[in-house]
Chains A and B, each alone.
Chain A
Amino acid sequence: MTKKVALWIFLVGTISSSALFLWLTWDTHRQVEFLANVDKLSDDVVAGKRVFEKYNCNDCHTILGFGAYYAPDMTKVVKRIGVDGIRYRVKSPEKAFANSSRKMPQQNLTDDEIEKLIAFFTWVGEIDNNDWPPQDSAKRLTRSEEVMVASAGLSPGAAVYQRRGCMNCHSLQGKGGSVGPALDKVGKRLKQAEIRRYIRDPKAVNAKAIMPAQKDLSNKELDEVARFLANLK
Chain B
Amino acid sequence: MTYQSQRISHWYFKAALLLFALQVVLGLWLAINYSYTLPQSIVNVFSFATARAIHTNLLVLWMLLGFMGGTYYIVPEETQSEIYSPAIAWFQLIALVVTGVVAIVGFVFGWTQGRPLLEIPRPLDAVVVIGALLFLFNVGMTMFKANRWTVVQGTLLGGLLFLALLYLFGIPFYKNVVIDWYYWWWVIHLWVEGAWELVTGAILAFILIKTTGVDRHVVEKWLYVEIGLFLFTGIVGTGHHYYWIGAPKYWLWFGGIFSALEPLPILLMMIDTIMHVKKRKLEIKNPFTFTLAVGCAVLHMIGAGVLGLLHTLPQINYYTHGSQVTVAHGHLAFYGAYALLNFLVFYYAMPKLKGIEVYNDTKGKIAFWTMSSAMSLMAVTFGIAGVVQSYVERMLGMGYMTAQHYMRLWFEVTLVLGIFFFIGMLFMVYDLFTLKPAKVKK
* Given A64-B177, A72-B400, A130-B244, A17 and B232 contact (CB-CB distance below 8 Å): yes
Interface string of B384-407 (1 = CB under 8 A from A): 000000000111111111101110
Smallest distance from the beta carbon of B391 to chain A beta carbons, Å? 11
Which stretch (B59-67, B216-224, B272-280, B428-436) binds chain A?
B216-224
Give the residues in chain A near B227, CB-CB below 8 Å: 10
Complex formed: what's the CA distance from A85 to B327 in Å? 29
Give the residues in chain B near A35, CB-CB below 8 Å: 178, 246-248
Q: Are the CB atoms of B47 and A174 closer together than 8 Å?
A: no
Give the residues in chain A near B393, CB-CB below 8 Å: 135
Q: Are the CB atoms of A132 and B53 closer together than 8 Å?
A: no
Q: Are the CB atoms of A28 and B401 closer together than 8 Å?
A: no
Q: Are the CB atoms of B49 and A59 closer together than 8 Å?
A: yes
* Given A14-B228, A49-B175, A104-B43, A70 and B115 contact (CB-CB distance below 8 Å): no
Q: Are the CB atoms of A38 and B176 closer together than 8 Å?
A: yes
Which listed residue, B43, B110, B176, B247, touches A56 by the CB 8 Å rule? Answer: B110
Which stretch (B32-40, B136-144, B286-294, B418-426) binds chain A?
B32-40
**B182 in contact (CB, < 8 A):** yes
In this complex, what residue of A is CB-closest to B314? A130
**A183 in contact (CB, < 8 A):** no
**A182 in contact (CB, < 8 A):** no
Interface string of B253-280 (1 = CB under 8 A from A): 0100010000000000000000000000
Smallest distance from the beta carbon of B255 to chain A beta carbons, Å? 10
Complex formed: what's the CA distance from A230 to B251 in Å? 50
Q: Are the CB atoms of A94 and B318 closer together than 8 Å?
A: no
**B119 in contact (CB, < 8 A):** yes
Complex formed: what's the CA distance from A134 to B229 in Å? 34
Smallest distance from the beta carbon of B350 to chain A beta carbons, Å? 32
Q: Are the CB atoms of B229 and A13 closer together than 8 Å?
A: yes
In this complex, what residue of B is CB-closest to A37? B246
Compute the total of residue contacts between A and B using a CB distance below 8 Å: 239
User: Which residues in window 125-167 of A have CB below 8 A to B?
Assistant: 127-130, 132-135, 140-141, 144, 162-163, 165, 167
**A178 in contact (CB, < 8 A):** yes
Interface string of A13-37 (1 = CB under 8 A from B): 1101110110011011101100110
Most A CB contacts (10 A, CB to CB) among B33, B252, B319, B404 go to: B404
* Given A9-B224, A10-B224, A13-B229, A21 and B238 contact (CB-CB distance below 8 Å): yes
Give the residues in chain B near A144, CB-CB below 8 Å: 396-397
Smallest distance from the beta carbon of B120 to chain A beta carbons, Å? 12
Chain B contact surface mostly: helix
Smallest distance from the beta carbon of A210 to chain B beta carbons, Å? 17
**B352 in contact (CB, < 8 A):** no
Q: Are the CB atoms of A24 and B236 closer together than 8 Å?
A: yes
Complex formed: what's the CA distance from A57 to B48 in Å? 10
**B95 in contact (CB, < 8 A):** no
Complex formed: what's the CA distance from A144 to B399 in Å? 14
Most B CB contacts (10 A, CB to CB) among A27, A54, A64, A141 go to: A64
In this complex, what residue of A is CB-closest to B190? A21
Interface string of A192-225 (1 = CB under 8 A from B): 0000000000000000000000000000000000
Which listed residue, A6, A16, A167, touches B225 by the CB 8 Å rule? Answer: A6
**A110 in contact (CB, < 8 A):** no
Give the residues in chain B near A56, CB-CB below 8 Å: 49-50, 53, 110, 112, 114, 119
In this complex, what residue of B is CB-closest to A59? B49
Q: Are the CB atoms of B399 and A176 closer together than 8 Å?
A: yes
**B102 in contact (CB, < 8 A):** no
* Given A127-B178, A141-B397, A27 and B248 contact (CB-CB distance below 8 Å): yes
Smallest distance from the beta carbon of B54 to chain A beta carbons, Å? 10
Smallest distance from the beta carbon of A133 to chain B beta carbons, Å? 7
**A68 in contact (CB, < 8 A):** yes
Which listed residue, A11, A102, A162, A167, touches B404 by the CB 8 Å rule? Answer: A102
**B116 in contact (CB, < 8 A):** yes
**A88 in contact (CB, < 8 A):** no
**B326 in contact (CB, < 8 A):** yes
Complex formed: what's the CA distance from A129 to B248 in Å? 9
Q: Are the CB atoms of B244 and A65 closer together than 8 Å?
A: yes
**B200 in contact (CB, < 8 A):** no
Q: Are the CB atoms of B394 and A128 closer together than 8 Å?
A: no
Complex formed: what's the CA distance from A126 to B202 in Å? 45
Give the residues in chain A near B327, CB-CB below 8 Å: 69
**B113 in contact (CB, < 8 A):** yes
**B71 in contact (CB, < 8 A):** no
Q: Are the CB atoms of A65 and B37 closer together than 8 Å?
A: no
Smallest distance from the beta carbon of A61 to chain B beta carbons, Å? 9
**A63 in contact (CB, < 8 A):** yes
In this complex, what residue of A is CB-closest to B404? A102
Nearest first, the 4 A-B pairs at minimum CB distance are: A53-B114, A13-B232, A65-B322, A10-B228
What 8 new A-B contacts, CB under 8 Å, besides A55-B110, A65-B322? A53-B114, A59-B50, A70-B34, A72-B401, A103-B38, A130-B252, A132-B318, A176-B402
Selected A-B contacts with CB under 8 Å, 8 pairs? A6-B224, A6-B228, A13-B231, A32-B246, A64-B181, A130-B249, A132-B321, A174-B405
